[in-house]
Amino acid sequence: MIIKQAMVLAAGLGTRMRPITETMPKPLVQIGGKSMIDYVLDALVGAGIETVVVNVHHHADQMETHLARETRAEIRISDERERLMDSGGGLARGLKLLDQDQPALVMNADLFWVGERDDEPSNLVRLAQQFGPSQMDIAMLCVEQERTTGHNGKNDFSMADDGRLTRYVAGAPNPVVYAGALALMPHLLDDAPDGPFNLNIYFDRAIAAGRLFGTRLEGHWLTVGTPDAIQPAEAVVARYGGSS
């Protein structure tokens, strides 16, 4: 499936990244000379995305100023200045700014990867290709623990041979971590509550229906949650030559 629109979840407070995030939003923290959200936008544009919704809350003016420089895709702002909506509420609100009849990619602004091969389809292209609304509610990018830096060590799901995902339990085979990128149809969240809620509600609903699937990430995945995580992440970026 070809996907041309996306949403980036970028409104969080970044409390664990303090004191850096006392004066700037977490997605603008630089790793290897590039803001984290720019790794995300580079991946989206590289996959053919033309329209991107970004939600803003913490230091929203800085986010809007930074995003105004992006000329490769149309940026639409989902303003959460008055009320932070959590992952689910923010996504439900932002998706309304996209075409409801077309699939969308969703990414977290502070999770990214490096080391994809230039001679193969990108992670997001493969994710879009896997997504089939007739048999799945959500397709998500997943990665094995050994190809992560900065992660807390917990596995999120087990992946079956056909890509179907279930919640990980100790000792289960094929454990993977959710890599912060997924594909869905916007109308999946039509029944979402009006206020803040966690997106895991929809993950669990999809699992119960046998409609949550995963695509394995190629390369190395990074999450930068605290100031101490910046240096290890920059070492990985340098090792892979700064590619995304």
Task: Enter the pTM of the model.
Answer: 0.94
Chain CA centroid to CA 10, Å: 10
Segment 76-122, tens digit of pLDDT: 999 999 888 998 999 999 999 999 999 999 999 999 999 999 889 99
- Whole-number Å distance between alpha carbons of 203 and 199: 7
- Whole-number Å distance between alpha carbons of 144 and 128: 20
Q: Exposed, middle or buried, 12 (CB in 10 Å: 0-12/13-18/19+)?
A: buried
Residues 6+ apart with CB under 8 A from 179: 111, 113, 140, 141, 142, 143, 217, 221
The mean pLDDT value of the chain amounts to: 94
Q: What is the pLDDT of residue 243?
A: 46
Contact 167, 157 (CB under 8 A): yes
With a cut of 50, say whether residue 239 has pLDDT above it.
yes
- Residue among 159, 104, 99 at smallest CA distance from 127: 104
Share of the chain above pLDDT 70, in %: 99
With a cut of 60, say whether residue 231 has pLDDT above it.
yes
Segment 143-201, tens digit of pLDDT: 999 999 989 889 999 999 999 999 999 989 999 999 999 999 999 999 998 899 999 99
With a cut of 60, say whether residue 127 has pLDDT above it.
yes
Q: What is the pLDDT of residue 242?
A: 60
- Whole-number Å distance between alpha carbons of 177 and 183: 16
Segment 58-68, tens digit of pLDDT: 999 999 999 99
- Domains in the chain (CATH in brackets) are 5-239 (3.90.550.10)
Segment 145-158, tens digit of pLDDT: 999 998 988 999 99
Average pLDDT over residues 221-235: 94
